[in-house]
Amino acid sequence: MACRTGCRTQDHSSWGDCLRASNLQLNAGDADSNKVMTSRKWNGELDAYSAARAQGIQPAGTKLQQVQAAVEASEKLGRAYDAGTMPPANKLTKAHGQVMTEVGI
């Protein structure tokens, strides 16, 4: 027998036949999965971005770190953060929010 270790039947004539019979499906990049973002992480980041946008917040990007920084900036400002018209989210403080409100930004 030349089957794979995990073969349930152990009756294939060669290792290749055993592998084909297992219907193993791989995608490009699966062998080096450290470089590929998992779909769970991808969906989590997009869900966080969608939740922020639903609150009127415009993060600088869809990465979780950018979304979290925009949400924190919104909390400091007391209003929705907009990356297109405001300073970088990670640089804002509550004092900046007060000044921006007085100036009308």
Beta strands in 1-105 (DSSP E): none
Identify the CA nearest to 99 among candidates 67, 68, 71, 76.
76
Indicate the helix (H) or strand (E) that contains 46: helix 39-54
89 or 58, higher pLDDT: 58
pTM to 2 decimal places: 0.60
30 or 104, higher pLDDT: 104
- Rounded Cα distance between 5 and 20, Å, is 14
pLDDT in tens, 31-87: 555 656 678 888 899 999 999 999 999 999 999 999 999 999 998 888 899 988 888
